[in-house]
Structure 1
Amino acid sequence: MPNARRVANVLAAGVASATATACASSSSLEQFQAAPRQLVLEEYFLGETTAYGLFEDRFGKVRRQFKVDIVGELEGDRLTLTEEFFYDDGERETRIWEIDVLGDGRYRGTAGDVTGIAEGQVSGNAFNWKYKVDLKVGGSIWNVGFNDWMFLMQDDVLLNRAYVTRYGIEIGQVTIAFRKG
């Protein structure tokens, strides 16, 4: 029976962890509607932006750190973001987002490694962006979900916290700070 108790304890801890994660990532956009700063995605990312970030696994261990140089161009209602990633281990990667501005703070987009369509909504200073990515992990490709929450702060800083899931279970979080100029 000691093994049964151990299994029960592990399962209980897992359920508690999943519940806490769900609560932490379940912000409502409406709560940011009256924020003193209003985020307009296509204005913020127009031109050059630099970002710094890291990926933490589900245990809180930092697995990767990176810098991103971003160039944003707006043509009509389409925002193109060219992102150049520079990882601390020397790896480099390019992602090009094609984001359609739909009006009423709604956005839809695609990128080379994104499966399906990314969808997002702005309210006040907050932007929630959801999508799935084919992510290279070692010698494998994992299809993971991203639930990004971005917040426009003072001095043109945009903070992003992304919850990364696989099979519906959070496997880590990405934290990124964007800075204009």
Structure 2
Amino acid sequence: MKLLTILLVLVVGVLIAKNRLWSFRAQQSSDYAGLGPSISLMEHLNGEILSEGLIYGPNGRVANSFVARMHGVWNGNTGTLTENFTYSNGKEQARKWNLTIIDDTRFTAIADDIVGVATGEVSGATIRMDYTIVLPEDAGSHRLNVTDWLYLTNSGVILNRSEMRKFGLKVVELVATMRPDPEALMQQEAAE
């Protein structure tokens, strides 16, 4: 019995260490300091943006997919990012982020379905944001803790990966791309 208890404690210890040291959650903004290309909230979250993504459920399988049209506008150190999602199950959702840049690396954000204030950090080619989101009523109104990472690639495409947790357990993962909306760019070129 004593040996079984020791083995159980060791297994739990290894799992905790793995989560804290060698996983998505273990990343720190400082891991990306100095790596390029440099991402900028005001530059890369500005104008018309097209996002396409997959949402994975707790079993690791794709539960839904989406297309989102976003629009970013900045006035000094404050900006808004309006998101309009269309999901593969036919549902639609809108969110409006209000962003405030604090200094060269830190920012805050608020939105109607966010509890309190989201905190964010910009470092090298990455943006990290942490917040608590309240899911819509038809999704159970659950409160989930979110870690959201954006990674700018050399081509200018942003890769977005998010983990959503409840009671410390991952229940949703999101993977998406974000890029200037080609349809909006064509309309802009045609108008010029």
- For 2:123, the aligned partner's letter is S
- Corresponding residue number in structure 2 for 1:122: 122
- Corresponding residue number in structure 2 for 1:51: 51
Quote the offset at 1:154 in angstroms.
1.8
Quote the offset at 1:17 in angstroms.
5.9
The separation in 2 between residues aligned to 1:21 and 1:143, in whole angstroms, is: 21
Q: Which runs of 5+ in 1 are unaligned?
A: none
The separation in 2 between residues aligned to 1:28 and 1:64, in whole angstroms, is: 28
Quote the offset at 1:137 in angstroms.
6.3
The separation in 1 between residues aligned to 2:112 and 2:40, in whole angstroms, is: 24
Structure 1 segment 4-83 matched on structure 2, within 5 A: 20-22=18-20, 23-24=22-23, 25-83=25-83
The separation in 1 between residues aligned to 2:116 and 2:136, in whole angstroms, is: 17
8 Å CA contact 1:46–1:73 kept in 2: the answer is yes
Question: What's the CA shift string for 1:15-72, capped at 9, x where partnerless?
Answer: 7666544431211211211212000112101100100111112321111100110000
- Corresponding residue number in structure 2 for 1:112: 112
Which SS does the other structure have where 1:155 is aligned?
coil
Give 1 or 2: higher strand fraction.
1
- For 2:118, the aligned partner's letter is A
Q: Which runs of 5+ in 2 are unaligned?
A: 182-192
- Corresponding residue number in structure 2 for 1:142: 142
Which SS does the other structure have where 2:42 is aligned?
helix
8 Å CA contact 1:18–1:169 kept in 2: the answer is no
- Corresponding residue number in structure 1 for 2:184: none
Structure 1 segment 94-109 matched on structure 2, within 5 A: 94-109=94-109
Question: What's the CA shift string for 1:134-158, capped at 9, x where partnerless?
Answer: 0136462100011011110021111
User: TM-score, normalised on structure 2?
Assistant: 0.82
Name which one, 1 or 2, has greater alpha-carbon Rg: 2
User: TM-score, normalised on structure 1?
Assistant: 0.87
The separation in 1 between residues aligned to 2:87 and 2:19, in whole angstroms, is: 27
The separation in 1 between residues aligned to 2:83 and 2:119, in whole angstroms, is: 18
Quote the offset at 1:123 in angstroms.
0.6
Which SS does the other structure have where 2:26 is aligned?
coil
The sequence identity of aligned pairs, in percent, is 24
The separation in 1 between residues aligned to 2:86 and 2:138, in whole angstroms, is: 17
Going from structure 1 to structure 2, the CA distance change for 1:18 and 1:161 (only over 3 Å counts) comes to: farther
The separation in 1 between residues aligned to 2:54 and 2:143, in whole angstroms, is: 19
RMSD of equivalent CA atoms: 2.3
Going from structure 1 to structure 2, the CA distance change for 1:17 and 1:156 (only over 3 Å counts) comes to: same
Quote the offset at 1:76 in angstroms.
2.2
Question: What's the CA shift string for 1:52-100, capped at 9, x where partnerless?
Answer: 1111123211111001100000012111001000000110110000010
Going from structure 1 to structure 2, the CA distance change for 1:88 and 1:16 (only over 3 Å counts) comes to: farther
